[in-house]
Amino acid sequence: MESIVALQKRVTPWSDGLEPSDAELNAIEAEMPVISAEVELLDVRIALLDRPVSELDERRIRRARRRLLAARRDLAAKVTTSSHPEVGA
């Protein structure tokens, strides 16, 4: 059995710059509560696609929306205080 090997160079050369930088990873980590809240809200909406919405389901939706808004508020406050440290001090 013969092996199949590409005879041409790769179209996109591999470089070390493909990995996220530390700053990008820190930004993702800072946004993780917002991302988690968005996923939670999406899960609730998906669960309600094929059934009528009950009172309990409405509570789940409101709770997920409040968590998302709180996470966005906290992130915005963190970004604002980090860009203007003298204001928060």
Chain centroid offset of residue 13 CA: 29
Does the structure show a pLDDT above 60 at 89? no
pLDDT bucket at 21, cuts 50 / 70 / 90: confident
Confidence of residue 82 (pLDDT cuts 50, 70, 90): confident
Q: Tokens standing for 5? A: 């090997």
Task: Give the model's confidence band at 77: pLDDT under 50 very low, under 70 low, under 90 confident, else very high.
Answer: very high
Q: Which amino acid is at 54?
A: S
Whole-prediction pTM value?
0.68
DSSP-assigned letter for residue 8: S
Long-range CB pairs of 40-44 (<8 Å, 24+ gap) are 40/64, 40/67, 40/68, 41/65, 41/67, 41/68
Residue 12 has pLDDT above 90, yes or no: no
Per-residue confidence (pLDDT) for residue 1, from 0 to 100: 62
Which carries the bigger pLDDT value, residue 63 or residue 8? 63
